[in-house]
């Protein structure tokens, strides 16, 4: 090794190495705002993003997280069709006017209508003729006790109350109430179906005031893509607002080429990553024009074995500082999402102070009720399964293999295990947001911009690391 290499080594600091120094504060907890930006175009009410992993984010997680003000990124360890199906579900979950309406033909049987309603979890289907004109509506009440072999046309309501897409939320509520109906089809001047308003969606809208939505009122949806799969990116583009590159080491000529092609072909915002160094950020930001966000951190994930297998990596805090430095030097406003190794609200505060705008978490969200997979009871406690996308378990499905470099395809870069069950997303988010706001209070910051300006880090000594956590008490079992 050359002398230069020995003496210019970077210190790869990680979350556990640092504390935020308390500063003069005048902010009351109620005045503290943790709104943030996840891409150049989209903001979040809470800077929390779930990892695209098949033990973390499918539609249930994405829906619930967006309702609470964060963002779910759907995993890609499945077929393109399955990924699109999940994204459609997120988009349909609640919106003032649903544009993707499930419909039926008049000559279908009641049995088919029942099956469709069960499959898509809806309680009514507009009935369209061959010209796609609305000719009726069949609801759960119409078919509940009807003979399975009857035709839809025999049981549907033919005089349908409709509105146009000019209708306001209040007008829609008045119409639904006046006619004691639960569904209001939206038609154009030729009688073609353009959408559907349902009472359920109107009620949900009031229930989640923090929800993050697109400009049609639908929940924001993120989805993982590979730089080498343009087809999937194009298919998801119709539904996902944000496409998230999902490779372990994005600083690579092939990834740049693939990403450039994808960005030229989609309208969604594209977050690229993962990157971990100053040089990678300079290259990415200066060579790829349309980057809307950066995903940052290599090897810190709780299920990662990359740095054990390869002795390569960039811990998330170090990576965030490096990328933020490069980004500031370039005058870039592209938001940074810190990814991997985040264990609690304190780590989130540190990542945001270091320059991130949002934090991506796998471990924390894998333990929530809304993550895929069942609860597992072990020695009187509940757990959920959690594994890395480079682990043997994830690699069985084979769709995410290209996250990792060619030579290591046969080598696991992730491990499998269980995480403690944490309850619902809502409980977990409340705890994370509360802790983050408290951290801002200590620093004396009212929002995340002020946090970045005012935060000062101190490096802990090994003795400090021990002292700055609960110690010298016995905790009862």
**Alpha-carbon span 74 to 246, nearest angstrom:** 11
Which residue lies nearer to ligand XMP by CB, 65 or 98?
65
What residue is closest to ligand XMP based on CB? 414
CA distances to 65, 238, 287 from 280, in Å: 30, 30, 10
- Letters for 412-451 (x = contact with ligand XMP by CB under 6 A, - = none) are -xx-------------------------------------
**Alpha-carbon span 297 to 174, nearest angstrom:** 51
| Residue in this structure with the two tokens 């934090």, named with its chain if needed | 359
Instruction: Just list the catalytic residues.
Output: 304, 403
Contact residue for ligand XMP among 332, 391, 437, 451 (CB under 6 A): 391
* Shortest distance in whole angstroms from residue 393 CB to ligand XMP: 10
* Shortest distance in whole angstroms from residue 399 CB to ligand XMP: 13
Which residue lies nearer to ligand XMP by CB, 125 or 304?
304
* Shortest distance in whole angstroms from residue 381 CB to ligand XMP: 19
| Residue in this structure with the two tokens 């088919």, named with its chain if needed | 112
By CB under 6 A, which span of 95-103, 105-113, 203-211, 338-346 interacts with ligand XMP?
A: 338-346
Q: Token digits for 2?
A: 């050359």
Pairing of strands 457-459, 18-20: antiparallel
**Footprint (CB under 6 A) of ligand XMP, residues 226-255:** 248
Q: Token digits for 117?
A: 């309603």
Contact residue for ligand XMP among 342, 439, 443, 448 (CB under 6 A): 342
* Shortest distance in whole angstroms from residue 265 CB to ligand XMP: 24
**Alpha-carbon span 227 to 291, nearest angstrom:** 13
Contact residue for ligand XMP among 268, 275, 324, 389 (CB under 6 A): 389
Contact residue for ligand XMP among 304, 317, 429, 448 (CB under 6 A): 304
Phi, psi angle pair for 112, to nearest 5°: -65, -40
**Footprint (CB under 6 A) of ligand XMP, residues 40-69:** 51, 53
**Footprint (CB under 6 A) of ligand XMP, residues 117-176:** none
Q: Are 218 and 97 in contact (CB under 8 A)?
A: no
* Shortest distance in whole angstroms from residue 389 CB to ligand XMP: 4
Residue (of 459, 477, 476) closest to 468 by Cα position:
459
3-class secondary-structure state, position 403: helix
**Alpha-carbon span 151 to 159, nearest angstrom:** 17
Q: Are 110 and 147 in contact (CB under 8 A)?
A: yes
Q: How many helices (H) and strands (E) does the chain have?
A: 19, 19
39 binds ligand XMP (CB under 6 A): no
**Footprint (CB under 6 A) of ligand XMP, residues 396-415:** 413-414
* Shortest distance in whole angstroms from residue 269 CB to ligand XMP: 18
Task: Give the Cα-Cα-Cα angle 13, 16, 20 (nearest 5 degrees).
Answer: 90
Contact residue for ligand XMP among 306, 332, 338, 345 (CB under 6 A): 306
Task: Give the Cα-Cα-Cα angle 223, 229, 234 (nearest 5 degrees).
Answer: 60
For CA atoms 390, 396, 398, 400, the dihedral sign is: negative
Q: Binders of ligand XMP: how many residues, by CB under 6 A?
A: 24
Contact residue for ligand XMP among 243, 363, 370, 455 (CB under 6 A): 363
Q: Are 321 and 271 in contact (CB under 8 A)?
A: no
* Shortest distance in whole angstroms from residue 90 CB to ligand XMP: 18
CA distances to 87, 234, 256 from 80, in Å: 11, 10, 22
Taking each helix axis from N to C end, the angle separating 253-265 and 278-287, rounded to the nearest 10 degrees, works out to: 40
Q: Are 331 and 357 in contact (CB under 8 A)?
A: no
Which residue lies nearer to ligand XMP by CB, 53 or 61?
53
* Shortest distance in whole angstroms from residue 184 CB to ligand XMP: 41
By CB under 6 A, which span of 187-195, 204-212, 261-269, 359-367 interacts with ligand XMP?
A: 359-367
Q: Are 205 and 173 in contact (CB under 8 A)?
A: no
301 binds ligand XMP (CB under 6 A): yes
* Shortest distance in whole angstroms from residue 445 CB to ligand XMP: 24
By CB under 6 A, which span of 126-134, 176-184, 337-345, 450-458 interacts with ligand XMP?
A: 337-345
Q: Are 354 and 365 in contact (CB under 8 A)?
A: no
- Letters for 369-388 (x = contact with ligand XMP by CB under 6 A, - = none) are -------------------x
By CB under 6 A, which span of 97-105, 129-137, 334-342, 426-434 interacts with ligand XMP?
A: 334-342
Contact residue for ligand XMP among 124, 126, 227, 340 (CB under 6 A): 340
Q: Are 385 and 399 in contact (CB under 8 A)?
A: no
293 binds ligand XMP (CB under 6 A): no
Q: How many residues does the chain have?
A: 477
Which residue lies nearer to ligand XMP by CB, 125 or 245?
245
Which residue lies nearer to ligand XMP by CB, 136 or 414?
414
| Residue in this structure with the two tokens 């077929």, named with its chain if needed | 79
- 314 Rama class: left (phi>0) / alpha (psi -120 to 50) / beta: beta
356 binds ligand XMP (CB under 6 A): no
Would you tell me which residues interact with ligand XMP (CB under 6 A)?
51, 53, 248, 274, 299, 301-304, 306, 339-342, 360-363, 388-391, 413-414
């Amino acid at each position: 090794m050359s002398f230069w290499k020995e003496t210019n080594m970077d210190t790869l600091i990680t979350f556990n190495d640092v504390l935020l120094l308390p500063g003069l504060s005048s902010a009351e907890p109620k005045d503290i705002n943790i709104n943030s930006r996840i891409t150049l175009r989209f903001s979040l009410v809470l800077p929390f993003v779930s990892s695209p992993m098949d033990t973390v984010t499918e539609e249930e997680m994405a829906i619930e997280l967006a309702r609470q003000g964060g963002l779910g990124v759907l995993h890609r360890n499945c077929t393109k069709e399955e990924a699109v199906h999940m994204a459609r579900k997120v988009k349909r979950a609640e919106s003032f006017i649903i544009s993707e309406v499930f419909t039926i033909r008049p000559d279908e049987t009641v049995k088919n209508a029942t099956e469709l309603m069960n499959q898509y979890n809806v309680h009514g289907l507009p009935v369209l003729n061959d010209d796609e004109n609305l000719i009726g509506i069949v609801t759960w009440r119409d078919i509940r006790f009807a003979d399975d072999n009857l035709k839809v046309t025999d049981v549907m309501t033919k005089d349908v109350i409709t509105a146009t897409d000019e209708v306001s939320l209040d007008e829609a509520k008045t119409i639904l109430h006046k006619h004691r109906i639960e569904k209001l089809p939206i038609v154009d001047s030729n009688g073609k179906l353009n959408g559907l308003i349902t009472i359920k969606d109107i009620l949900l809208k009031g229930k989640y005031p923090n929800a993050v939505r697109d400009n049609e009122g639908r929940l924001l949806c993120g989805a993982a893509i590979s730089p080498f799969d343009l087809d999937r990116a194009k298919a998801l583009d119709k539904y996902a607002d944000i496409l998230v590159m999902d490779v372990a080491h994005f600083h690579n000529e092939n990834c740049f080429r693939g990403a450039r092609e994808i960005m030229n072909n989609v309208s969604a915002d594209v977050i690229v990553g993962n990157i971990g160094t100053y040089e990678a950020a300079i290259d990415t930001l200066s060579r790829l024009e349309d980057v809307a966000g950066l995903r940052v951190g290599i090897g810190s994930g709780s299920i990662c074995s990359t740095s054990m297998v390869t002795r390569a990596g960039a811990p998330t805090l170090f990576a965030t500082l490096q990328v933020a430095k490069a980004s500031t030097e370039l005058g870039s406003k592209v938001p940074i999402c810190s990814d991997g190794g985040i264990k609690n609200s304190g780590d989130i505060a540190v990542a945001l102070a270091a320059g991130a705008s949002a934090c991506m978490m796998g471990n924390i969200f894998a333990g929530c009720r809304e993550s895929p997979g069942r609860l597992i009871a072990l020695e009187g406690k509940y757990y959920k399964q959690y594994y890395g996308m480079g682990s043997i378990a994830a690699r069985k499905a084979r769709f995410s293999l290209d996250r990792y470099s060619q030579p290591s395809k046969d080598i696991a870069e992730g491990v499998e295990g269980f995480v403690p069950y944490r309850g619902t997303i809502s409980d977990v988010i409340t705890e994370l947001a509360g802790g983050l706001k408290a951290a801002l209070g200590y620093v004396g910051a009212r929002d995340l911009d002020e946090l970045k300006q005012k935060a000062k880090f101190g490096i802990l000594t090994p003795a400090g690391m021990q002292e700055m956590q609960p110690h010298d008490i016995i905790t009862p079992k």
